[in-house]
Amino acid sequence: MIDRYAPKELRALWSEESRLRLWTRVEQAVCRARAQLGEISQAEASAIAAAKPPGLERVMQLEAEQGHDLAAFVTALQEQLGDEGRQVHLGLTSQDVVDTALALQLKQAQAFLDRELEALCQALADLGGRHLRTPMIGRTHGMHAEPVTFGFVLANHLDEVRRSRRRLDLAAADVVVGKISGTVGTHATVSAEVEELALAELGLRPAAITTQVVARDRHAAYLCQLALTGSVLERLATNLRHLQRTEIGELREPFGTRQKGSSAMPHKRNPVRLEQVCGLSRVLRGLMVAGMEDVALWHERDISHSSVERVALPDATMALGHMLRSLTEVVGGLEVDTAAMAANLERRGAVARSQQVLLRLVSHGMAREEAYRLVQRLAHQADRPGGDFRALCLASPELLDRLGAEEVAQALGLEQYLAGIDASFTRLGLLAPEPAHPAGDGG
Q: Hey, which residues are catalytic here?
A: 141, 262
Amino acid type, 167:
R
Query: Helix or strand or coil: residue 243?
Result: coil
Task: Let me know: does 393 contact 408? Beta carbons within 8 Å.
Answer: yes
Q: How many CB atoms lie within 10 A of CB 93?
A: 22
Q: Whole-angstrom Cα distance, residue 299 to residue 185?
A: 12
Task: Let me know: does 33 contact 197? Beta carbons within 8 Å.
Answer: yes
Task: Let me know: does 240 contact 334? Beta carbons within 8 Å.
Answer: yes
Q: Whole-angstrom Cα distance, residue 338 to residue 270?
A: 20
Q: Whole-angstrom Cα distance, residue 174 to residue 221?
A: 9
Nearest residue to 285 via CA among 326, 233, 231: 231
The CA distances from residue 167 to 158, 226, 254, in Å, are 14, 9, 30
Q: How far apart are the first and last CA of the chain?
A: 39
Q: What radius of gyration do the chain's Cα atoms show?
A: 30
Task: Let me know: does 248 contact 242? Beta carbons within 8 Å.
Answer: yes
Residue 129 CB burial class (10 angstroms; 0-12, 13-18, ≥19): middle
What sections of 144-191 are H helices per DSSP? Answer: 150-175
Q: Which helix (H) or strand (E) holds 188?
A: none
Task: Let me know: does 264 contact 256? Beta carbons within 8 Å.
Answer: no
